[in-house]
A and B are shown apart, each in its own frame.
Chain A
């Protein structure tokens, strides 16, 4: 992906300024998104607690995925493909934080305790005794 984008930028010198800006911007956003995805995966593996792992996974799901999809939209131009990509991005942006919140709330009501901090679990409404 990145190599093809770079080769497009370098080889096709007749793209003009708009093509150059488009390709370089999409390459930049895709590389940034891949960095976020990789950092989130390492965070999920290395963090000590469930809630910190949840933070890392949520950041991967929203920011990394959205950046990669925006890069692909920039590269595809104004076609049907970009419309499908925008729909995927919209649904990801809608459902992924909801799923993360649902997992966190379910773990919190099931009395899964975080490692640090003081929590009074008896005050949670709906929590199991």
Chain B
């Protein structure tokens, strides 16, 4: 988990960093599950479940921002360009 931070900080391209962020999120989920079992309080599993969903949404959102440079729907702009 700490080793993945090295790739996050020193990744040569942008996608390496995104991959490191995604993998770090997965490792955070595993760490939360194991930690909740160690201290015998299964309350943190809800937080782990929330992390599992947020991780996926955050990755997809950042990827869309990388590809299109905006987060909104660009359908109207394309239609206007097609009409012109």
Contact = CB atoms under 8 A, between A and B. Distances in A.
Interface of A: 1, 4, 37, 40-42, 44-45, 50, 53-54, 57, 60-61, 64-65, 68-69, 72, 75-76, 80-81, 84-85, 87-88, 91-92, 95-96, 98-100, 102-103, 106-107, 109-110, 112
In order of increasing CB-CB distance, the 3 nearest A-B pairs are: A95-B56, A84-B45, A81-B42
Given A44-B7, A103-B59, A112 B13 contact: yes
A72 B35 CA distance: 11
Given A84-B42, A98-B56, A1 B37 contact: yes
B26 A92 contact: yes
Contacts of A64: 30
A72 B26 contact: no
Interface of B: 1, 3-4, 6-7, 13, 15-16, 18-20, 22-23, 26-27, 29-30, 33-34, 37-38, 42, 45-46, 48-49, 52-53, 55-56, 59-60, 63, 66-67
Contact of B16 (A4, A50, A80): A50
Contacts of B63: 102-103, 106
Contacts of A84: 42, 45-46, 49
Contact of A88 (B3, B19, B48): B48
